[in-house]
Amino acid sequence: MEILVNLDVMMAKRKISGGELAERVGITPANLSILKTGKAKAIRFSTLMALCHELNCQPGDILEFRE
């Protein structure tokens, strides 16, 4: 079982760069990279909410559960 992070897919669909998204959300590009690669151990709801707001999507568009 794993949680997949589809942040890169949503960024490509919205045609937004990592640097621009990080700036809009208020996190560092390094932390955004950690989220994109799925290496993050956790994500704050406030960060997830900001990502969803900027990408105009739902949390389920970014996070996916697979068995």
Could you list the beta-strand ranges (E) of the chain.
2-5, 63-66
The β-bridge partners of 65 are 3
Average pLDDT, the chain: 95
- If you average pLDDT over residues 55-60, what whole number do you get? 97
- If you average pLDDT over residues 41-66, what whole number do you get? 96
Contacts of 35 (CB under 8 A, 6+ apart): 5, 7, 43, 47
Query: Rounded CA gap, 62 and 58, in Å?
Result: 7
Query: Rounded CA gap, 41 and 10, in Å?
Result: 20
pLDDT-derived band of residue 42, with 50, 70 and 90 as boundaries? Answer: very high
Q: What per-residue confidence (pLDDT) applies to 14? A: 96
